[in-house]
Amino acid sequence: MASSLTRLLEASSVAVVGASERAGSVGETTLRQLVECGFKGEVFPVNPRHRSLRGLSCYPSLEELPVSVDLAVIALPDALLEEQLSMAARLGVGSAVIFASAFDEPAEGETRLTERLAAIASEAGMALCGANCMGFVHPAASLEICGFSLPAELGPGPICLLSHSGSSFSALLHNDRGLKFNLAVSSGQELVTTAADYVSYGISMEGTAVVGLVVEQLRDVPRFSEVAREASERDIPIVALKVGADPRTADLVSAHSGALAGDDGAYEAFFDAYGIHRVRDLCELADTLELFAAGRRAAVGGLAAVTDSGGERALLIDLAGEVALAAPNAATKAELASVLDRGLPVVNPLDAWGTGADSDNVFKRSLRALHDDPGTGALLFAVDLTAASSESYAAIAIATSEVTEKPFAVLSHYPGGIDRAVAARLRRAGVPLLEGTISGLAAVRHLFDHRDLRARPQLDPPAPVAADVRRAWQERLSSGDQLGEAEALSLLADWGLPVARTLPAASEAEALAAAGELGWPVAMKTAAPGVGHKTEQGGVALGVTGDEALRQAYRKISARLGPLVDVQRMVERGIEIALGVVEDADFGPLVVVAAGGTLVELLGDRQLALAPLDDWRARRLLQRLRCYPLLRGFRGGEPVDEDALVAAVVRLSALACDLAGSLGALDVNPLVVGPRGCVAVDALVVQPKRST
C-alpha cells in the first residue's frame, strides 16, 4: 500500500477521466484546479468528445495515453465506474479517485458495485480514494484533486485532516481563521484505502503538528491502533469528531452493559486508550487544532486568564467545568496587587480593567506574572477583539507571546465581534485565537489532557488465569446453554472476583436446606432461564429470615416464574457498583464500570475502557464516575475499600481478554462495595450470537 499510496498522494502524472469544458461541472473543476494549482507533473484530460482542453491534448480513453499514469481521477457517473476502473487497473495505473457515490441496485445474488470496485483496486494493488468523496489536497506537492471549488490559498501548514464528511472537508478548507493543512483528504467510503493509511502518511510528513479527524467509523481498527500509537510516540495529537450512531451494540440490550455502552461506547473507550482527543462539534475541532498547531505543550498546573470584564470573568468561571484553574502563589499575588487599580480582586481569572490608566502595561505585567507562576499550565488573554480595542489587545498579546514559553492564546467570547484583520495579524505572529468561550475552554482541556495522557504509566496487564480454567469455560460457553446466576458467579470467582456464596434450588425443600447451610438472612432469586432483569419481573426477595418467610417468598416467586431459584447469603450493606463486559466485533472486549443497582441505566453514570486494565487505569476509570465521591466517604460516610474495587475491575478485564470471542456481554450488578471489601451478588452472562 505504501507505493500505491505514494502514487496517489504524490502523483507525478494525472489523468482526469471525464474532463470537461462545461463550467462548474466536476470534470471541468477538477481539471481547472489541477492546472491552476501549480502542479509540476503531467496532466492528461480524457474525454472522447474533445481534442484539447485548457491547452492540453485530450485523449479519447485511458488506453490512448502515451504513459501509464500514477493517478486516474474518475469524474464520471456510477454507471461508468466499473469499466473505467477496470481499464485503469489493466493498464497499470497506480491509484484512483472516485467522486461518484457508486450506488447501484444489484439483482439478487449479485455483488454490489462498491464491492466490485474494491475488488478491482485491491487485486491490482491500487490505492483508491472514495467512492463518494471530494478528493484530496497536498499543498507541498502542489496537488489539488477535487471536483468542487477550493480556496485560492491552501497551505501548506501544520495540520493533517481526514474527513468522511465532504461538507466538513470543504468548510474546514474554506476557513477564515488561518488553519493551514499539509494534507487534507475527503476519503468517502474508503473502499480500499482507509483513514489509517492517510493518517500514517500524514504523521510521517515533516511539519505535521496535529491530526484532525471527522469520522463516521474506523474501518481498519487494528491498523489505526498502530497509527495512533505511532502518533503518540511522535507527540502528534489526534483530534477526532466522531459522528453518527454505531448500531453494533443493539443486540446487547438484554444486558445492562450493552445498553450502557450506547451507540459508540467502543469509540469512547478506544479514543481514551490511545489518547485521541474527542471533540463535540466543528467549532471545538477548529479551536483545538489551532491550539495544538501552535506547538506549545501544557506545563504542570491549571489555567490562568486575564480579562477586561467582570462579567466575562464570571462567564469563564461558570464554563470552566473540567478545566482546572490555577491558584496563584503569594509572590504572584503580590506582583498583581502592585500593578492593579485599587479595589480589583487579586484572583484567577483576573479582571485587570480598572480606570483604564496605563492599561497596556497593566495587562502585560498581569499576564507575565500569571505566566511565571509555577501553578500555571497555560495562559489565556480573554478579551473581545472588537474594532474599538483590537489593535491594542493584539499588540499586548503578541508582546506577551514573544516573552513566554507556556501555551498562550487569545480567547474571544463572541466570534461575531472579532475584527478579522487583527485576528489575521495575531495568527501571523503565531498567537492562537480561540473563537468562543465553550470551544476555547474545551481546547485548553484537550491541551491539559494531552499532557496528562503522556505522563500516564505503561500498561501493566493482569496475568491470565490458568490455561485449563480458561479452556473449560470456553467449552462451557460454546455449548450454547444459558448460564444461570450461580454458574455466572462461579465464572467470576474463577477469575479472582469475590462473590456471594450462592446455592441453587429446584423446590421449596431444597431452598430451605440451602438457607440452612448458608445461614440467615438470605436472598432468594429466580433462576428461570431467560429472565435477565429479575427485580423488574418480581423474581427477587431480599433479607429473608426464618423458614416461614422463606416458604412464602419461594411460593410467590415460583408461582410467577417457575420452581428454579438461587439462594444466596445476604452481604453487608454498601455502595452498589455495576461492572460489565461488552464484546465489540472491531474493538474487542470493553470493560464497563457504572453506578449500580436498579437505576443503572436511568442514571447513566458509566465509564468504558478497552481491556485489559491495570491498577492505575482501573482507578482512573472509577475516579471519572459522578458517584465516585460516595466511594471516598460522602458527608461523613466511611470510605469503601477502593483497592478491593480496583482489583475486581482489573480481574474482570483479565476475564474479558481471556474469554474474548466467547462472551457476548457480562453484567455484574450489583457489586456491593464496603469498608472491608467488595462482593458480587448478581451476574448475568449473554452469549454471543452464533452465525448460522
pLDDT of residue 253: 38
CA pair distance 466, 462, nearest whole angstrom: 12
Handedness of CA 55, 58, 62, 67 (dihedral sign): negative
Does residue 156 have a cis bond before it (omega within 30 degrees)? Answer: yes
The answer to whether residue 386 scores a pLDDT higher than 70 is yes
Of 522, 539, 570, at which residue does a domain stop?
Answer: 570
pLDDT of residue 689: 72
The answer to whether residue 682 scores a pLDDT higher than 80 is yes
Is residue 176 assigned to a domain?
Answer: yes
Q: Do 493 and 506 belong to one domain?
A: no
List, as one string, the DSSP characters of 204-268. Answer: HSTT--EEEEEES--S-HHHHHHHHHHHHHTT--EEEEE-S--GGGGGGTTSHHHHHHTTTHHHH
User: Taking residues 508-528, what's their average pLDDT?
Assistant: 95
pLDDT digits (tens, 9 = 90+) for 551-600: 999 999 999 999 999 999 999 999 999 999 999 989 999 999 999 876 56
Q: Is 70 helix (H, G, I), strand (E, B) or coil?
A: coil
CA pair distance 216, 246, nearest whole angstrom: 9
Q: Do 563 and 636 belong to one domain?
A: no
CA pair distance 116, 128, nearest whole angstrom: 13
> Which residues are bridge partners to 132 per DSSP?
none
The DSSP bridge pattern shows strands 350-351 and 302-307 to be parallel
pLDDT of residue 252: 40
Mean predicted lDDT score pLDDT of the chain = 93
Is residue 273 assigned to a domain?
Answer: no
Q: What is the CA radius of gyration of the chain?
A: 31
Of 516, 545, 570, at which residue does a domain stop?
Answer: 570
User: Taking residues 99-111, what's their average pLDDT?
Assistant: 93
CA-based nearest residue to 412, from 430, 377, 438, 388: 438
Q: Do 345 and 483 belong to one domain?
A: no
Q: Do 372 and 507 belong to one domain?
A: no
CA pair distance 601, 593, nearest whole angstrom: 12
CA-based nearest residue to 681, from 673, 672, 689: 672
Q: Do 592 and 549 belong to one domain?
A: no
Q: Do 483 and 368 belong to one domain?
A: no
Q: Do 496 and 407 belong to one domain?
A: no
The answer to whether residue 529 scores a pLDDT higher than 90 is no
Is residue 252 assigned to a domain?
Answer: no
3: pLDDT confidence band, cut at 50, 70 and 90? confident
* 24-30: Cβ within 8 A, 24+ apart: 25/75, 26/75, 26/99, 26/147, 26/148, 27/75, 27/147, 29/146, 29/147, 29/148, 29/149, 30/73, 30/75, 30/135, 30/145, 30/146, 30/147
Is residue 556 assigned to a domain?
Answer: yes
| Amino acid occupying residue 474 | Q
Is residue 248 assigned to a domain?
Answer: no
pLDDT of residue 596: 85
Q: Do 582 and 563 belong to one domain?
A: no
Is residue 606 assigned to a domain?
Answer: yes
CATH of the domain at 547: 3.30.1490.20
**Residue spans of beta strands (DSSP E) within 506-598:** 522-526, 540-544, 565-569, 575-584, 588-595
CATH of the domain at 95: 3.40.50.720
Q: Do 468 and 451 belong to one domain?
A: no
Of residues 48 and 246, which shows the higher confidence score?
48
Of residues 98 and 261, which shows the higher confidence score?
98
| For the chain, percent of residues with pLDDT exceeding 90 | 86
pLDDT of residue 636: 73
CA pair distance 661, 641, nearest whole angstrom: 32
The answer to whether residue 108 scores a pLDDT higher than 80 is yes
Q: Do 506 and 494 belong to one domain?
A: no
pLDDT digits (tens, 9 = 90+) for 267-320: 999 999 999 999 999 999 999 999 999 999 999 999 999 999 999 999 999 999
Out of 155-159, 256-260, 383-387, 396-400, which region has the weakest mean confidence (pLDDT)? 256-260
pLDDT digits (tens, 9 = 90+) for 180-235: 999 999 999 999 999 999 999 999 999 999 999 999 999 999 999 999 999 999 99
Say which DSSP state 682 is in: -
Contact by Cβ (8 Å): 81, 117: yes
Q: Which residues form the domain of 342?
A: 289-455
Is residue 329 assigned to a domain?
Answer: yes
Contact by Cβ (8 Å): 537, 531: yes
pLDDT digits (tens, 9 = 90+) for 52-73: 999 999 999 999 999 999 999 9
Is residue 109 assigned to a domain?
Answer: yes
The answer to whether residue 692 scores a pLDDT higher than 70 is no
CATH of the domain at 626: 3.30.470.20
Contact by Cβ (8 Å): 530, 497: no
Q: How many domains does the chain fold into? A: 4
Q: Which three three-digit cell numbers place residue 584? A: 465489540
pLDDT of residue 245: 62
Does residue 151 have a cis bond before it (omega within 30 degrees)? Answer: no
Q: Is 430 helix (H, G, I), strand (E, B) or coil?
A: coil
Of 541, 570, 599, at which residue does a domain stop?
Answer: 570
Q: Do 376 and 466 belong to one domain?
A: no
Q: Do 451 and 466 belong to one domain?
A: no
CATH of the domain at 447: 3.40.50.261
